[in-house]
Structure 1
Amino acid sequence: MGGATHGGGSCQISVTYDLKPTVRSTWRVIHSIQGGCPIRNLTETNHGDSATTLLPDIYNFTIPDWLPLGRAVMAWTWYGRLSVPEMFMNCAPIMVLGGRGPDTLLSVDISRDDSVLTGKWDQAPLMFEANNGNGCWTANKGSCVEFPEPGDSLEVNHECAIDREKMFTGTCGPRQRLAELYRPGFGGLHSGLSQRPFLSIFAIMVAALLFASVLTVVLKRKKGVVYRKMSQI
């Protein structure tokens, strides 16, 4: 991806226990990188001209001890500093092992009765979302994203300018997740998602009217009805 590093940017590492994630999945942040991601000390917009160029930097992070054990899915999300408003996301299946002492079972279900563990999981920040139709957009005017809730594990690379006035447009925040916007009874659908069903219904109605009009003309022609062009007066 060297030919498309978009001036660096900001990234997050998040985890969900939905093995087949959907738009309604809950992603909890375990590490945030503010600036200098996916490449540090970038002096040009892109690192070379080839999309197959490997990036030189490695990013280390620690799996938190409150992360439930067992099968999960990890996501890497990235917002470029210099690009059109986009949200890049790569996912990978993972297995969380250890982390809670030598006597811990290798695989424990998240639903087990462990109030301390589930409490920490519920308190972890939600993955930041923008540029996916949720009403929050990155302005992409040279400012890296400063995550509203980066979590306890945060790497900050000061090479990237932070300008809060040029960072976002629209409404941004935890409640602007698609999972929240799709939730029944949520009152925040003014962001544009609420208009899509109506647009779909309108398009179906227009298509139905056009089909009916064409069908009427075809049937009348079969019956010998001829349409004549009227001369202009």
Structure 2
Amino acid sequence: MSFRSALFAASAFIAATNAHITISNPVPYSADQVKIDKAAITADQFPCKSQYGFKVTQMNSMKVGEPQKLEFDGSAVHGGGSCQLSYTTDTEPTKDSVFKVIKSIEGGCPGVDGTKSFEYTLPDSIPNGHGTFVWSWMAKMSGAPEFYMNCAPIDVTGGASDASGLNALPDMFIANIASTTCTSPLNHAVKFPNPGENLEDGGTNDVEDPTGDCGAKGSTPATPSSGAPVESSPVVSAPASAPVQTAPAASATAAPVQSTLATIATSAPAASAPVASAPIASVPVASSPVSATIPSGTAPANSGSGSETGGSTGGSTGSPGSCSSDGAIVCNGADQFGICNGGSVVWQAVAHGTTCSNGNIQKRTMYYARPALHARRI
């Protein structure tokens, strides 16, 4: 790799990592690594960016009932979203740890135009001793549903002598990283199914219920396995008086697509008399994750966008560009977006089934053209 290529790769990595959020107070585990890697977590990193371990950079002392400050490092708030503050008695949490909610914030977290600090107190149900404080976040506008999670070591005083009261609190809501269909809503702050008694309204009027198999606490991340077969999405058939031409089967993909109704034209078999029209069959597109097959030689149209700069429009990433509004979503055509950070932006592909337009990630509308029908001459 040339020096120029290495420098570009390093610059792109720094811009991408800085374009996210992490907690700075309380000080998280393995703070040096977490401060650099501000990205959302994946299922194999759950919980707490566990790939960096649980090094106690600084023990955070907290007394039950006393006001505490939640503060952040980073610039891109993705339009806000919803956050939860939780606690577990485990000092090195695992996938089997139980995280109990002590406060929920619906909308405007960790900020809208930039990060802001939040106040919270530990309830008297938390037992004395060492444990783990948890901040989780589902962003409003992040291109695709994501789950952010930071954890910090805390030493609790003035609390309970046992965990009976803690166990009565609701479980932390988890979405967007599991093998189930539970996802946070696109371009909205998620409304928690069970936020607990300590709920703060962010006042953004953009809260919406999650979708899929969420239940009261969302989904549980599955342990990733290699070589596992991927089930194909079911093909939905529709009744019609004339035969329906078979469409290519859809293949499974990681990004969920919202259910929509597509109108497909069907053609009737040839007859001795002129055919005036053919029946139309309405076929619902399956709401499970699908990826439509595009015929060879065709490419999706590149519509106008709210992009502040030009660049490559294909692939998962492109050359960095310039921008003016830190924290804002910037479109590069319909198929790429980036987060403005310090006057620069690194392009990445939008999630399947979505498009970038005027600084917003939106669902892509699917159209099927009705074929021309001709009468057969006798």
Cα separation, 1, equivalents of 2:153 and 2:196: 22
| Alignment TM-score, normalising by the size of structure 1 | 0.60
In the comparison of the two structures, how many residue pairs are matched?
156
Which of 148, 156, 170 is the matching residue for 1:125?
A: 170
Cα distance in 1, alignment partners of residues 204 and 152 from structure 2 = 29
- Is it true that 1:30 corresponds to 2:90 in the alignment? no
Deviations 1:45-78 (A, max 9, x none): xx4xxxxxxx3x2211111011111100011000
**Aligned equivalents of 1:21 and 1:174: distance in 2?**
21
Matches within 5 A, 1:49-198: 55=115, 57-83=116-142, 84-99=144-159, 110=162, 118=164, 120-135=165-180, 136-140=182-186, 142-164=187-209, 168-174=210-216, 176-178=218-220, 196=225
| Deviation, structure 1 residue 99 | 3.9
State the one-letter code of the partner of 1:90.
N
CA RMSD of aligned residues (A): 2.5
CA displacement at 1:134 relative to structure 2: 4.2
Report the secondary structure of 2:228's partner residue: helix
Partner of 1:6: 78
Q: Distance in 2 between matches of 1:128 and 1:37?
A: 15
Q: Distance in 2 between matches of 1:198 and 1:5?
A: 36
More strand by share: 2
Distance in 1 (alpha carbons) for counterparts of 2:79 and 2:205: 9
When normalised by structure 2's length, the TM-score is: 0.38
Name the CA shift for 1:178/1:153 in 2 (closer, same or farther; >3 Å).
same
Taking every aligned residue pair, what percent have the same amino acid on both sides? 38
Residues 13 and 31 in structure 1, CA contact (< 8 A), matched pair in contact too: yes
How far apart in 2 are the matches of 1:29 and 1:143?
Answer: 21
Whichever residue aligns with residue 59 of structure 1, its letter is F
Deviation at 1:163, TM superposition (A): 3.2
- Specify every segment of 5 or more residues in structure 1 that has no aligned partner in the other structure, as ranges: 48-54, 101-107, 111-116, 183-192, 201-233
Do the aligned partners of 1:87 and 1:131 also contact (CA within 8 Å) in 2? yes
Question: Does the 8 Å CA contact 2:124/2:159 hold for their aligned counterparts?
Answer: yes
CA distance change for structure 1 residues 36 and 175 in 2, over 3 Å: closer, same or farther?
closer
Deviation at 1:159, TM superposition (A): 1.2
Contact between 2:173 and 2:217, CA under 8 Å: does it hold in 1?
A: no
After the TM superposition, which parts of structure 1 deviate over 4 Å for at least 4 consecutive aligned residues?
none
Paired AA for residue 228 in structure 2: L
Which protein has the bigger helix share?
Answer: 1
